[in-house]
Amino acid sequence: MNTLFRLALLPALAAGTGCSADAAKAPAASGAAILVAHRGASAYAPEHSIEAYELGIEQGADFVEPDLQITRDGVLIVLHDLTLERTTNVREVFPTRFRTEEIRGELVDVWFANDFTLDEIRQLDAGSWFDDAFAGTKILTLSEVIDVVRGRVGLFIETKAPEVYGDRGFDMEGLLLEELTRHGLDQPGADPDTPIVIQSFSAKSLRVLRHDYGTLLPLALLIGGADGEKWLTAEGLAEAAEFATGVGPTKTLLLGAPGVVDLAHEHDLTVVPWTFRAADPGDFETVQEEMAHYLYELHVDGIITNNPDLFPRTPPRGGS
């Protein structure tokens, strides 16, 4: 197990499992695995909303997971998509501010978050798409998310499409580290109650953070898509270990690659797969059964889920 990563997670593990810090050093199968609320408790409230983060904390999450985008005026906001139309009413508020892009062979009108200032984004309703009860929900800045969760849980922060922003003249990695420095969270253990992990699908982004900026924070490489399997080999994991402290493969990739968790641990990498949903338990009867298999049979180090309330803190009866 990567010492730096485990030390960063130790306070959250101890708090989340109700065990001592020493007990939190035990392997994941002992119950010390971390629970990451995916975009907050996003099965029950609009993703990346205050309500989703608060509910995730109430449901026992050790970490919440904010995705980063950048506004036109250079502010880090918490939003999954590059564009605004899926989760806001941007079509109604700014009907002419779209770009027409070719997506999967079709021309589609899209509203890039980076084409709007923070003040403009503040005008959008980011809750009604989920349920009318959340009408008026606003998109948060990363700074606001830190203020909401600080001292309560850690942050699994994802750099989204950093190369796209690089092409637009923005340095997402630099902006992120500046924000963490401003909050006094740029070093491992700076706030033991608010551990920080940075994750990305972009190996380049993580290399920039580790080698160019020299951050010592835990870094996790998210793994999925067509090239995902190459990272889950001895060679791929060895390469990942050059700049990362952990990997985050899709649950499907991991299920189809026996022995990868042990192999990753041999390379001093943690394994935190994604995304577990009650609405999609894969080949299992329930998502609890699915998560338990990964935790107590495959011995992963954590789970990223939309349903933190269903996280199995202890092995099922009769399990290992």
- This prediction's pTM: 0.91
Contact 291, 285 (CB under 8 A): no
Structure tokens at 62: 């050790």
Q: Using CA atoms, how far apart are residues 214 and 207, in angstroms rounded to an integer?
A: 9
Task: State both tokens at 83.
Answer: 């564009």
- Residue among 249, 70, 76 nearest 164 (CA): 70
- Residue 12's pLDDT is 40
The Cα–Cα gap between 141 and 279 comes to 29
The DSSP bridge pattern shows strands 219-223 and 246-249 to be parallel
Looking at residue 186, its pLDDT comes to 98
| Distance (Å, whole) CA 87 – CA 65 | 17
Q: Are the CB atoms for 202 and 101 separated by under 8 Å?
A: no
Distance CA 74, CA 77 (A): 9
- State the burial class of residue 279 (Cβ atoms within 10 Å of its Cβ: 0-12, 13-18, 19+): exposed
Residue 186 CB contacts under 8 Å (≥ 6 apart), including other chains: 177, 180, 215, 217
Hey, what long-range contacts does 255-259 have (CB within 8 A, 24 or more apart)? 255/282, 255/283, 255/294, 257/229, 257/232
Q: Which of 48, 80, 265, 293 is catalytic?
A: 80
Would you call 48 a catalytic residue per the annotation?
A: no
Please, what are the averages of pLDDT over each run of 10 residues along the chain (320 residues)? Answer: 45 38 36 91 98 98 98 98 98 98 92 98 98 98 98 98 97 98 97 98 98 98 90 97 98 92 97 97 95 96 98 80
Question: Catalytic: 38?
Answer: yes
Are 97 and 111 in contact by the 8 Å Cβ rule? The answer is: yes
Q: Are 220 and 304 in contact (CB under 8 A)?
A: no
Task: Say what the pLDDT of residue 198 is.
Answer: 98
Beta pairing, strands 154-159 & 196-200: parallel
Look at domain 3-83+138-310 and name its CATH class.
alpha beta
Q: What is the pLDDT of residues 59-91, one digit of tens each?
A: 999 999 999 999 999 999 999 999 999 999 999
Using one digit for the tens of pLDDT, what is the confidence trace for 135-186? 999 999 999 999 999 999 999 999 999 999 999 999 999 999 999 999 999 9
Residues 180, 56, 319: CA angle, nearest 5 degrees: 115
* CA torsion through residues 218, 41, 51, 141, sign: positive
Which residue from 154, 138, 144 is spatially nearest to 56, judged by alpha carbons? 154
- Amino acid residing at 265: H
For residue 270, give the amino acid letter. Answer: T
Q: How far apart are CA 307 and CA 90, in angstroms?
A: 28
| Catalytic residue (one of 38, 48, 265, 293) | 38
DSSP state of 220: E
